[in-house]
Amino acid sequence: DVLALLKDGSDSKVEAFVAGRLNKCCEGERRVVINNLEKSMASQVQEFKLHHGTLKGSKRRIRTAILISGRGSNMEAIIHSSQQAGSSAEVVLVLSNKLEAAGITWAKEHDICTAIVEHRKYKDRASFEAVVQSELERKGVELVCLAGFMRVLTGSFVTFWKNKLINIHPSILPSFKGKDAQKQALEAKVKITGCTVHFVEVEVDSGEIIAQASVEVLPDDTEEVLSERIRRTEHDIFPRAVLSVAATMQEQI
């Protein structure tokens, strides 16, 4: 008996005891069984909560998809933000309607699951969206972000994802809705424009505003220069808005 030998041969005042035992495991059985763990740790867990509160990030993260059509710079910002400690969102899918989208390559290089659903292969928007919907459901997506996704979505798709479908627009809505918002701002000779993160509704750029940020319009700005300045601001505001929406969804789980 090993325990008896330890007791007899030891000069130490520390008592030897059995901490566990090894048993042969049959196929299909659990490899490790710990009896009374919850009961044994209860007092320590309670003491930790009293001094430190509950662990941040202990709630399940919201499964998020990002839809893109191009390079996906906002996608990159959202993914980087979602990978930080305590994030409320987990990006489980990047989907593009264009085979050549540079953002798909970036996502693959960063081990993010991707899908390509080329809209040109489908006879109408409903057929295209049915395949997109199938991809979203396959990954268990709960929140969808439009990050430079250059397709107008049908009312049925938007309604299905109500309050779970968000977009960013390069203006301070409700000003300069629709296409060429930066060009509209320059033509209006405004001093301030910006970007808006909002929930998507059937009417374009009309959904509830989640977050906004302002960007100064300078006298010598071209459409391209202003667009780049707005885009840098988008990279800050869009990820924060996504995490805010996801955190609200966590509270409803």
State the Cα–Cα distance between residues 148 and 198, nearest whole angstrom. 14
> Do 171 and 181 form a contact (C-beta atoms < 8 A)?
yes
Domain ranges of the chain: 2-52, 62-251
- Residue 169 a catalytic site member: yes
Mean pLDDT of 176-190: 97
Percent of the chain with pLDDT over 70: 77
Residue 18 three-state SS: coil
Whether pLDDT at 251 is above 90: yes
Out of 119, 169, 198, 235, which one is annotated catalytic? 169
Residue 183, token pair as written in the block: 């060009």
pTM for this model (two decimals): 0.76
Percent of the chain with pLDDT over 90: 76
Tokens 């929406």 belong to residue: 245
Specify the CATH architecture of the domain 62-251: 3-Layer(aba) Sandwich (3.40)
Q: What does the pLDDT look like over 209-235, one tens digit per residue?
A: 999 999 999 999 999 999 999 999 999
Q: How confident is residue 50, by pLDDT bands cut at 50, 70 and 90?
A: very low
- For 49, list phi and psi in degrees, rounded to 5: -65, -35
Whether pLDDT at 54 is above 60: no
Tokens 């490790």 belong to residue: 32
Whether pLDDT at 57 is above 60: no
